[in-house]
């Protein structure tokens, strides 16, 4: 049996190696999610301030350069955006289960989120709303699937390490969420909105780099598509998705 501080016996799959009693893949997912949450909550800390900056509801003495919206409009946009992040977890989980598999879905999600934060760092409303849409879609793709990958690291629901593994994983989420407002929020609010949004992109980039660099520590099961679409189902889904996109754009 592998020591809690050393790798599993020679010849075992790499995802079965352990550290402190848990699969080493948990470390990969811990830091991936920590940096993703750092980028997400850091951007959220800036969002309403940026929307009202330069407008009548901006705080006295605050920097300009925002979108000069009213507080009511900014709150509505913030609320819809946060709602969409969580609603998109449903189609995100579906894509992981039926189209790409969890690992590929998380990889694509990381690039989409990073592109969204880069778009937010650009001036102007078109880039801003495009960035919000990309971050919402990417977050939805990532949320359900990275949690699924944590489960794949263990030997089913009866593995006594599993609950502890998820607890450690959620510590990563909370750590990223705790630090983000102090770093991204402060820099964005006090120095430059766009620099703050760019730092969120850097955070997601670091998480994606960790995920890609240490992907071999993950269970190969995460690359499988559990319930792949048939060709007929795929054609029907493409048609429906195209229709939904058109309606959403309208």
**Residue 124, burial from CB neighbour count under 10 angstroms (0-12, 13-18, 19+):** exposed
- Residue 247 has a CB neighbour count (10 Å cut-off) of 8
For 228-236, which contacts have Cβ atoms below 8 Å and span 24 or more sequence positions? 228/98, 228/99, 229/98, 229/99
Q: Model's pTM, two decimal places?
A: 0.86
Q: What domains can be seen in the chain, in order of their start residue?
A: 22-164+171-249 (1.20.1250.20)
- pLDDT tens digits, the chain, 250 residues: what are they? 333 333 433 344 555 666 678 899 999 999 999 999 999 999 999 999 999 988 776 777 677 788 889 999 999 999 999 999 999 999 899 999 999 999 999 999 999 999 999 999 998 889 999 999 999 999 999 998 999 999 999 988 888 999 999 999 999 999 999 999 999 989 988 889 999 999 999 999 999 999 999 999 999 999 999 999 888 888 888 888 788 878 877 8
């Amino acid at each position: 049996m592998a020591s809690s501080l050393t790798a599993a016996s020679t010849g075992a799959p790499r995802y079965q190696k352990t550290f402190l009693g848990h699969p080493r893949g948990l470390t990969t997912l811990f830091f991936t999610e920590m940096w993703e949450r750092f980028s997400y909550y850091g951007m959220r800390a800036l969002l309403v301030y940026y929307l009202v900056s330069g407008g009548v509801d901006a705080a006295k003495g605050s920097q300009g350069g925002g979108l000069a919206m009213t507080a009511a409009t900014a709150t509505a946009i913030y609320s819809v955006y946060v709602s969409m992040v969580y609603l998109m977890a449903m189609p995100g989980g579906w894509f992981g289960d039926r189209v790409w598999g969890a690992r590929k879905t998380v990889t694509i999600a990381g690039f989409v989120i990073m592109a969204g934060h880069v778009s937010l760092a650009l001036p102007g409303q078109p880039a801003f709303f495009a960035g919000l849409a990309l971050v919402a879609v990417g977050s939805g793709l990532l949320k359900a699937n990275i949690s699924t990958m944590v489960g794949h690291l263990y030997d089913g629901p009866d593995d006594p390490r599993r609950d502890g593994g998820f607890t450690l994983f959620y510590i990563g989420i909370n750590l990223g969420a705790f630090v983000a407002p102090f770093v991204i929020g402060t820099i964005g609010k006090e120095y430059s909105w766009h620099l703050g949004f760019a730092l969120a992109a850097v955070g997601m980039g670091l998480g994606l780099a960790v995920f890609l660099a240490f992907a071999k520590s993950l269970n190969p099961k995460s690359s499988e598509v559990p319930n792949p679409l048939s060709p007929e189902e795929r054609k029907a889904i493409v048609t429906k998705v195209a229709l939904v996109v058109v309606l959403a754009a309208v």
